[in-house]
């Protein structure tokens, strides 16, 4: 072991010891392949899944004070992890998993899977969330991006979000302070979502179930679950009058490959992992599609997928 590697190991050991004092469940060198929907082979240098907001705040505060990278990971369905390694600490929201129902309101931890939320609403005959049937990922991630499908979005049903501000103050934001727009929210400016309150309408269970089944069947018909992917890669610009997927498809880019990453033959706005694709493959394919669309149509496509890990600014596309 050379001097540089030895020094890094000693520094890493010291950081690990201090993190363990904040959260005893901190782990090292944790595989993330099963925690991201692209199934990218990556590992977290340090990994924690706290169940209390105070612990999350303490971990983030420590990382900031020591200039250590810190990332929040939910369901991993809208992220592109860097190959092999994510430096610093990954905080997973999986243990923020409490869900309660009070009348027509559902209080839901950020780590609750969207499927569990949708089924809870259905069981309590609450209407308004069937649009999210089959939507992968966690409640926190869906709220962060104001997830949208089948003509509805999270903004239609959310009333409050418990979160940590960029200054790590615990607060509850009402809907009118969330700056909700297409795939945009206040939370993208350094907030950490902890829990979400939904206000729904009383509904007929059979009617809700029919809508859930219809949407799920449509996702299956579109082969959205056939290969690992992050769902839609590019934002839509509704002023163009056509979605990004159609623009990509019309230019004959479906089926284009870079390594094991491919523009899905059945959906222009999906990039799929056909077998052990690298993050670099996906990123290069994103750039290739952007260049062709710009050259042929003079349209700039902007990724909605979030880059996480050890990316250089010059490599990651349009990082937010």
The residue annotated as part of the active site, out of 82, 127, 232, 244, is 232
Phi, psi angle pair for 170, to nearest 5°:
-75, 125
Task: Determine contact, residues 229/37, Cβ cutoff 8 Å.
Answer: yes
DSSP state of 266: T
Q: How many residues does the chain have?
A: 320
Tokens 């540089």 identify what position?
4
Q: Is 232 a catalytic residue?
A: yes
Handedness of CA 311, 32, 141, 278 (dihedral sign): positive
The residue annotated as part of the active site, out of 152, 304, 312, 314, is 304
**Rounded to the nearest 5 degrees, what angle is found at the Cα of 315, between the Cα atoms of 266 and 9?**
115
The burial class, CB within 10 Å (0-12 / 13-18 / 19+), for 44 is: buried
Residue 194 belongs to what H/E stretch? strand 192-199
Name the token pair of 123.
Answer: 């069981």
User: Any idea of the CA torsion for 130, 134, 137, 140, to the nearest 10 degrees?
Assistant: 0
User: Any idea of the CA torsion for 261, 264, 270, 273, to the nearest 10 degrees?
Assistant: -30
Which of the residues are catalytic? Answer: 232, 304
């Amino acid at each position: 072991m050379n001097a540089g590697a030895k020094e890094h190991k000693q520094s890493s050991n010291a950081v690990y010891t201090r993190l363990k004092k904040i959260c005893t469940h901190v782990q090292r060198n944790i595989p993330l392949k099963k925690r991201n929907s692209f199934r990218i082979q990556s590992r977290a240098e340090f990994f924690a899944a706290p169940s209390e907001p105070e612990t999350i705040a303490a971990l983030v505060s420590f990382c900031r004070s020591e200039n250590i990278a810190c990332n929040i990971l939910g369901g991993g369905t809208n992220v592109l992890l860097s190959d092999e390694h994510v430096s610093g600490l990954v905080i997973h929201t999986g243990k923020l998993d409490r869900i309660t129902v009070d009348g027509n309101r559902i209080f839901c931890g950020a780590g609750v899977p969207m499927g569990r939320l949708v089924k809870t609403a259905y069981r309590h005959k609450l209407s308004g969330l069937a649009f999210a049937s089959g939507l992968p990922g966690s409640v926190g991630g869906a709220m962060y991006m104001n997830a949208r499908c089948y003509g509805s979005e999270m903004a239609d049903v959310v009333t409050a979000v418990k979160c940590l501000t960029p200054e790590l103050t615990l607060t509850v934001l009402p809907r009118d302070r969330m700056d909700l727009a297409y795939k945009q929210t206040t939370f993208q400016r350094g907030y950490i979502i902890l829990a979400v309150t939904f206000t729904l309408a009383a509904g007929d269970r059979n009617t809700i179930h029919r809508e859930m089944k219809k949407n799920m069947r449509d996702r299956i018909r579109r082969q959205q679950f056939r290969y690992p992917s992050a769902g839609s890669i590019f934002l839509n610009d509704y002023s163009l009058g056509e979605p990004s997927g159609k623009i990509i498809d019309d230019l004959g880019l479906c089926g284009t490959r870079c390594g094991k990453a491919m523009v899905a033959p059945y959906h222009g706005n999906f990039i799929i992992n056909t077998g052990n694709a690298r993050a670099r493959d996906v990123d290069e394919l994103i750039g290739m599609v952007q260049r062709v669309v710009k050259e042929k149509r003079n349209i700039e496509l902007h990724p909605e997928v979030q880059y996480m890990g050890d990316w250089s600014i010059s490599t990651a596309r349009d990082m937010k």
